[in-house]
Chain A
Amino acid sequence: GDSVTQMEGPVTLSEEAFLTINCTYTATGYPSLFWYVQYPGEGLQLLLKATKADDKGSNKGFEATYRKETTSFHLEKGSVQVSDSAVYFCALSALQGAQKLVFGQGTRLTINP
């Protein structure tokens, strides 16, 4: 079945550091790919998405490119802030009527000032 694998956490960085969180997937067909973010005590929020190969999703300085050849969707940000501390989830969705997302295990990110 479909699956998503994220890099193990937790990840701790200093403010203004470069961030990469790796995500690879296994799926039949051509899924859409997503990054969701969960701030403490809250539900998940969509951060960005890409719906086809070579698409780049971007939001709030974060970017991820849908790489079909490597089945990857790595999340990057050039200069992180303390406010980026959260748990990040990579997810995929097969093209079905309902949005049945398959999530990775999540990566906890802590940014120190």
Chain B
Amino acid sequence: NAGVTQTPKFQVLKTGQSMTLQCAQDMNHNSMYWYRQDPGMGLRLIYYSASEGTTDKGEVPNGYNVSRLNKREFSLRLESAAPSQTSVYFCASSGPGTANSPLHFGNGTRLTVT
């Protein structure tokens, strides 16, 4: 019963390096999301994908790109990492129906940019 799986769990990057965070869900959910969590700021939406083939910006999209590879997978790419992108990143998914469907979260990726 995997749910939402994120890789890697931890990552350290130097400023200017690039990387891709991977996310996959096995619940046949239409919608997927990327959030970042910073101390004292809760979670902020970076990008989301309402359905396969679509992506939209959230509250804090600058410095990130996403790809909805198929219904299961939604990746987040940092092209040129900056120290301000040090954070914990969470992927989530939600099922069909109304906006009341709960989000299912992965366990997060802790990223440090030095």
Contact = CB atoms under 8 A, between A and B. Distances in A.
B106 A43 contact: yes
Contacts of A93: 99-100
A34 B56 CA distance: 23
A61 interface: no
Given A43-B106, A46-B103, A93-B99, A98 B42 contact: no
Contacts of B100: 32, 49, 51, 93
A97 interface: yes
Given A43-B90, A98-B50, A98-B99, A105 B105 contact: no
Interface residues of B, number: 27
B24 interface: no
Contact of B98 (A4, A95, A104, A105): A95
Given A43-B90, A105-B41, A105-B42, A99 B103 contact: yes
B41 A46 contact: no
A32 B98 CA distance: 10
Interface string A32-75: 10101000011111100101000000000000000000000000
B107 A99 contact: no
Interface in A74-93: 89, 93
Interface string B43-71: 11100111000001010000000000000
B107 A42 contact: yes
B94 interface: yes
B102 A46 contact: yes
The 10 closest A-B pairs by CB, nearest first: A43-B105, A103-B42, A98-B50, A46-B102, A99-B94, A105-B42, A103-B43, A44-B105, A98-B31, A43-B107
Interface of A: 4, 32, 34, 36, 41-46, 49, 51, 89, 93-101, 103-106
